[in-house]
Amino acid sequence: MPAEYEVIRGVEEFTPWFLHETQWYLSEFGVPTCYKGTEVDLGNGHVESAELRHAFSQLQFAIPPLLSGRIGVPATSFDVIENTPFFFVPILVTNARLFVARSDFGIGRVETAAELADLSNEADCLLVDLAPGQDFFFHARRHLQSLMDAVKRKGIQAAEQHRREEGVHAYELPSSLAQRVAVAGDEVEAITNVSYLIVARFEYLSQLIQRVNEITDRVAIHATQKRPEFLKF
């Protein structure tokens, strides 16, 4: 099934800008979604998943410091108008071939399979849906404490005032988001999704980045400082 998830994350909540396009994250990559992964050495038959889980975890744990740094810098260093939304995509790059289990995967198919192609379809990239654990949320809370200071600076103060004037609910203003994350790390999910990671073959990486750039450029062009109608209620 194509991924119906936010492959590219856009973070606008600490800026005076709004992203108006609503379809930019839905199925634009058409990549399969997976919920676990296993490494198989076809040479010796060795199977293991610990290193893969560790790689996914490391990539996920990099998101809170990224958010903290990217939200905090424009608050002080740039003019207010230059406090703009940003996009990011967590990508794990591999030189291994990627295979996704077929929809009819099961004991019966395993017993009759003669080769890997009988069990799976090869992919250039895929999406991993990995719900973070409590240790991640403790990590997020620790790294995002800095937002409490960032929201007091002129860039985000101006953004908060503007968003309030545009009718954004107080619960979704920068000061509230920062406070919520400072109290409970799982509130990072009010700022951005942290569950979805892309895994891509090295040979496909340049094509993937080109596609990401095309989408983010298109969405950024349509961003304005007027609140979209679909957010008004």
pLDDT tens digits, one per residue of 179-212? 999 999 999 999 998 998 999 999 999 999 998 9
What pLDDT sits at residue 232? 58
What is the extent of the structural domain holding 30? 9-224
Range with the poorest average pLDDT among 23-37, 88-102, 122-136, 171-185: 23-37
Euclidean distance between CA atoms 100 and 121, whole angstroms: 5
- Domain membership flag for residue 207: yes
Q: How far is CA 44 from CA 53, 100, 107, in A?
A: 21, 20, 22
What pLDDT sits at residue 93? 96
In total, how many domains does the chain have? 1
- Domain membership flag for residue 230: no
Within 10 Å of residue 226's Cβ, how many Cβ atoms?
10
- Domain membership flag for residue 140: yes
- Domain membership flag for residue 174: yes
- Domain membership flag for residue 65: yes
- Domain membership flag for residue 3: no
pTM of the entire predicted model: 0.86
Euclidean distance between CA atoms 72 and 68, whole angstroms: 6
- Domain membership flag for residue 88: yes
- Domain membership flag for residue 114: yes
For residues 33 and 3, the answer to whether their CB atoms sit within 8 Å is: yes
**Residue 77 pLDDT greater than 70, yes or no:** no
Bridge partners for 123 per DSSP: 98
Residue type, 5: Y
Cα within 13 Å of Cα(228), Cβ side: 11
